[in-house]
Amino acid sequence: MSDKLILPKWISRGIEEYFPIKGTNQTFAEIIDDAEKNNRKLRIKLGIDPTGTDIHLGHSILFKKLRAFQDNGHIAVLIIGDFTAQIGDPTGKNKTRVQLSEKQVKENAKTYLTQLGMGKPSNESILDFDSKDRIEIRYNSEWLKELNLNSIIELMGSATVSQMLAKEDFNKRYNAQVPIALHEFLYPLLQGFDSVAVQSDIELGGTDQKFNIAIGRDLQRHFKQKPQYGILLPILTGLDGIKKMSKSEFNTVGLSEDSLSMYSKLEKVPDNIIPTYFELLTELDLNILKDENPRELQRRMALEVTSLFHGAEEALKAQSNCEKLFLGHKEKVGDIPEISLKEIVFPVKFFYLLSALELFKSSSESKRSIKGGGVKIDSQKVINPDLVFDSKKDLEGKILQIGKKIIKRFEN
């Protein structure tokens, strides 16, 4: 669709798709413009299910967009899916997810909020937690725990089995005769009901969340509310340049990672994904992509992203330390993140050590990397995967490098 008005850059940058409200003549840009002219604060919903403990750069795209709405006067409605997390979002899954306990979910939620900057000044956090009129933190157990059987039947009556099977993940599993538990059909309905409970005007989500956001819009219409707009943002490609950023693929950059680890990983991303990282992870003018060579673009992007999460001073230190390590100047390097040997049983073979420290997906991958010359200790390549370290003293204080993405100092 084409808007008569142009969407402001702070909204349009990085948007993959947005879908309009049926039954209204207003375009998306006109709704934003109207809200601004009438000083009306839009309610922007973003739901997160704390099924893990780490937020990575792929997740940060949504939070950055939510912050942009905050900075332009709107209300971020951050929904912690403490109830729905116990069911688990079936999106992208080829089997029924293991359900989490209430205690696990609560602990995960705390770590999520910490990583988003709760408790920090707004200029040092991803979301603005200081401006109380621009943020609501809601837990969906607040309303979902109160649903009785009649309410659940009403929710289920608002959708059909064919609708649910139109969802790509369900459809694939159904056609492959992979079991789909009935409670999984409830997930999109319960997440959609969140939109009703908080009366959202706009919901943010990744491109894989279109079905769930549309269900929320349908439920708002069912409950006689004005249906929300959906804004879909891209799924970030991981450091391998191929698969989506995911902890299970070992291709992530976590928000809680130290500045050196973050910079060193980003400095070596493949050329093909540099433009995407610039667009989705920075606010820099994209014209820069036309003028600089790929190596300089890598360094510029890595410095900018690291600055966003650690500040300019720490990012510059990380850049300097990476260069010193590359040149073999170990003695000139400042603080390096440590990796503990506490749980390792010695003597231990080198390939197994790296695997046990979860630096590789498997022992075989660890062996391949060592044999290929991709692993150094104190700037010296170690190419024998079966090299045996007899005790912690053999490694304590030494610097481990895996490519240019992982730099750690061994400690007891």
For 208, other C-beta atoms within 10 Å of its C-beta total 15
Beta-bridged to residue 382, according to DSSP, are none
Three-state DSSP at 130 gives: coil
CA distance 232 to 279: 15
CA distance 47 to 200: 11
CA distance 363 to 371: 12
| Alpha helices, DSSP H, located in 93-133 | 102-115
Torsion of CA 278, 282, 288, 292, to 10 degrees: -60
CA distance 127 to 46: 12
CA distance 207 to 91: 11
Binding site annotation covers 349? no
For 309-343, b where at least 16 C-beta lie within 10 A, e where not — what string? bbeeebbbbbbebbebbeeeeeeebeebeebebee
CA distance 390 to 59: 41
**Residues making up the binding site:** 247
**Residues making up the binding site for ATP:** 247
